[in-house]
Structure 1
Amino acid sequence: MSELKTVTKPATSVAPPATSVVARLRWPLIATAAVVLLACAAPFQLVPFHTFQLAMAMVYAVTLLGLNLLVGHTGQISLGHGAFFAVGAYTAAIAMERWDTPYFATIPLAAAVTFALGFALGIPALRLRGLYLALVTLAIAIFLVPLLKRFDGLTGGSMGLTVTKPVPPAWTGLAEDQWLYFLALVTTVLSFVLVAGMLRSRVGRALHAVRDNEIAAEVLGVNLAHYKTLAFAWSALLAGVAGCVYTWVIAFVSPDSFAVTLSVTLLAGLVVGGLGTTWGPVLGGLFVMFVPSFAQDVNQAAPGVIFGLLIIAVMYLAPTGLAGLVTQWSQWLGHRVRKGKNHAH
């Protein structure tokens, strides 16, 4: 009787086909390139006011990018990012108006000031978390406005400061609104590239570990104090850079422009856009820019009511934010396309 021999093949790890990896990377890159190309063409097709609105949406997107780094990727709540935004705006305005600083030099200045401020705030925030941390950051946003009004010799007090808008170089052939738009666009693209590189590095993995489970992250050797303060500092830096570009675009700063409602609106915009997502800050920036003005047009007596109802509606229809909704739609569409191809074959 012949013996039956069972031949066991050695287990081998099957690597995903290179084509599938390329396919996964191709569509996000194509979508990103398409968005950038549309953004480059927009100021040549729109009237100046709409160009200004899109520039402001990009300014808010950079602010939300910093807030997303702190809240979405590190898990720390902040209700005071309007304060960092204001510090960056006032740093640029004071440097341009009082010290005749070239406007390009105000970006590193605003970045350095807000980075130091965020790092300083991150140290005491190490002992706080959750609602306690949110209250501390909210307190900063509350007392900043009267503080700006008090030092009127430097900040212009309640009247604020008016600065000269950056003039486009003659060789560009651009109008003033188009030049400011492209300054905002370049700042936005560079900020997103910087944060994307950070999140793909060891720093990004550490921030995600802190967000998911602080105790487990510490056991694995993550220095909680270092990465929490780093997240605060980089988040504040991005808000400060956005505030600097805001000063270029608006050419005016006043304390009332940075009331505590700005910080609340920024956090709401980030949640609506999508926490911890790539496109969340962009969609949130568009939401922060256009929805309040839409609410004002619908009901001038109570725009806050319309704004609040719109937030509730978006959260009901898209619990993971607009970016999550777009992802679900794209996955559904891709599934339908693949299903159609299979039926065709």
Structure 2
Amino acid sequence: MSEVTKTQEAPEAPVGKSGPGRSWLRFLSPDRGHWLWIVLVIALILPFQLVPFRVFQLTMVLVYAVALLGLNLLVGHGGQISLGHGAFFAVGAYTAAIMMDRWDTPYLLTLPVAAAVAFVLGLGLGVPAARLHGLYLALVTLAIAIFLVPLLKRFEDFTGGSMGLTLAKPQPPAWSGLAEDQWLYFLALAVAVAAFVLVAGLLRSRVGRALHALRDNEIAAEVMGVRLAFYKTLAFAWSALLAGAAGCVYTWVIGFVSPDSFTVNLSITLLAGIVVGGLGSQAGPVLGGLFVMFVPSFAQDVNKGAPGVIFGLLIIVVMYVAPTGLAGLAGRAARSFNRTLRKE
């Protein structure tokens, strides 16, 4: 064989560095988005493999994930703080409940209205919040979560007062062949996918870049021409919109709303969920939803007398082991595993 032919041959891939045997590592790399498709395929299969109660739990995980997605947009990407996110969740839930109970509105039409009402309220809160920082902003948002419960009890003609409102759950259409729990799961999944796509597009736009600039350094962002008050207000509005949408789906799934379901504990739990899940990460809202759904029930099983103590201790342990949240811990573990395999 001539020297020219030899030089034209492709070099052999180094063992352990590349080649077909390592393509799956690149595909599952935490720096790529392929894992989202894998999670989506698994999510489509799960409701046909689990008992109804587990399907219900996963449905609630999706509901919380949508709410945490909005909180992640505000806290993780915008650098703001909110201890009143549960209030917007309640606004979406009650908007849907009142429309379905008082006006017999088709449940699908309640979703855009609930999201719009929460968006407007978030916009109204965002105006004064744009002038506040840190502890002051946290106290204002906390106050909203505190006075919401007595406010809902006061307007008994609309909200049902302390007794709340009981609603009929959406029934699956005959052509679907699905059980009620499966239909509600797929409704929640559709809303969650749409919400994640919306936020992904938002973060890739000028709005996302402005929010990141605000989070990193407000002074530098203002020097670069970012309108601080405008984007802070917009962050609150978009965050509230997603919380309202989650609250609407919550009403579909539970079929009941009452003021005691939306106390200040809900806002604190949601904030803990996104911090534990991973601020500013794609997987953070999903992992946070799993945490919010399953950890309190686990704490209840461990100690029925003091579930809050167990819940708090678990948060401390997770924050000690994974300061950047479960998403950061999973990312580091995956990268370490990939590096180990490449060295073999």
Q: Which residue of structure 1 aligns with residue 170 of structure 2?
A: 166
Q: Does 1:80 align with 2:81?
A: no
Residue of structure 2 equivalent to 1:212: 216
| SS of residue paired to 2:77 | coil
Q: Does residue 1:262 correspond to 2:262, yes or no?
A: no
- Residues 118-149 of structure 1, C-alpha deviations (whole Å, 9 max, x = no match): 00000011110101000000000000000000
Following superposition, the deviation at residue 27 of structure 1 comes to 6.9
| Cα deviations by residue, 1:287-336 (Å, 9 ceiling, x for unpaired) | 00000001001100000010011101111111110000000011101111
Tell me how far apart the structure 2 counterparts of residues 84 and 172 of structure 1 sit (CA, whole Å): 32
Change in 2 beyond 3 A, CA 1:25/1:295 = closer
One-letter amino acid of the counterpart of residue 305, structure 2: A
- Output aligned runs, 1:131-210, within 5 Å: 131-210=135-214
> Matched residues in 2 for 1:28 and 1:48: separation?
33
Matches within 5 A, 1:17-32: 28-32=32-36
Alpha-carbon shift at residue 29 of structure 1 (Å): 3.2
| Cα separation, 2, equivalents of 1:28 and 1:265 | 30
Structure 1: unaligned runs, 5 residues or longer: 1-18, 341-345
The 5-angstrom pairing of residues 68-147 of structure 1 reads 68-147=72-151
Q: Distance in 1 between matches of 2:27 and 2:189?
A: 28
Long gaps (5+) in structure 2: 1-22
| Partner Cα distance (1:124, 1:230) in 2 | 12
For residues 192 and 308 of structure 2, the distance between their equivalents in structure 1, rounded to whole angstroms, comes to 28
C-alpha separation in 1, matches of 2:194 and 2:113: 17
The 1:95/1:310 distance shift into structure 2, 3 A limit, reads same
Residue 24 of structure 1 deviates from its aligned partner by 8.9
The percentage of aligned residue pairs carrying the same residue is: 74
Contact map agreement 2:27 2:34 (CA 8 A) in 1: no
> Distance in 2 between the 1:144 and 1:77 partners?
19
* Secondary structure of the corresponding residue to residue 28 of structure 1: coil
The alignment's C-alpha RMSD in Å is 1.4
Q: Secondary structure at the match of 2:130?
A: helix
Runs of 4+ in structure 1 off by over 6 angstroms are 22-27
**Aligned counterparts, 1:50-61, within 5 A:** 50-61=54-65
Q: CA deviation at 1:28?
A: 3.1
- In structure 2, relative to structure 1, the CA distance for the partners of 1:23 and 1:123 (3 Å cut) is same
Q: Deviations over 1:184-228 (max 9, x none)?
A: 011111101110111111110010001111111111011111111
Deviation by residue 1:123-179 (Cα, 9 ceiling, x = unmatched): 011110101000000000000000000000000000000111111011110000000
Which residue of 2 is the match for residue 244 of structure 1?
A: 248
Q: What is the deviation of 1:338?
A: 1.6
Say if 2:39 is the partner of 1:35: yes
> Which residue number in structure 2 is paired with residue 321 of structure 1?
325
**Secondary structure of the residue that 2:103 maps to in structure 1?**
coil
Name which of 295, 298, 302 aligns with 1:298.
302
Secondary structure of 2:42 counterpart: helix
- More divergent stretch after superposition (56-65 vs 27-36): 27-36
Aligned: 1:230 with 2:234: yes
> What is the rounded CA distance, in whole Å, between the counterparts of 2:269 and 2:116 in structure 1?
25
Deviation at 1:30, TM superposition (A): 2.6
State which of 308, 313, 330 in structure 1 corresponds to 2:312.
Answer: 308
Q: Secondary structure at the match of 1:222?
A: coil
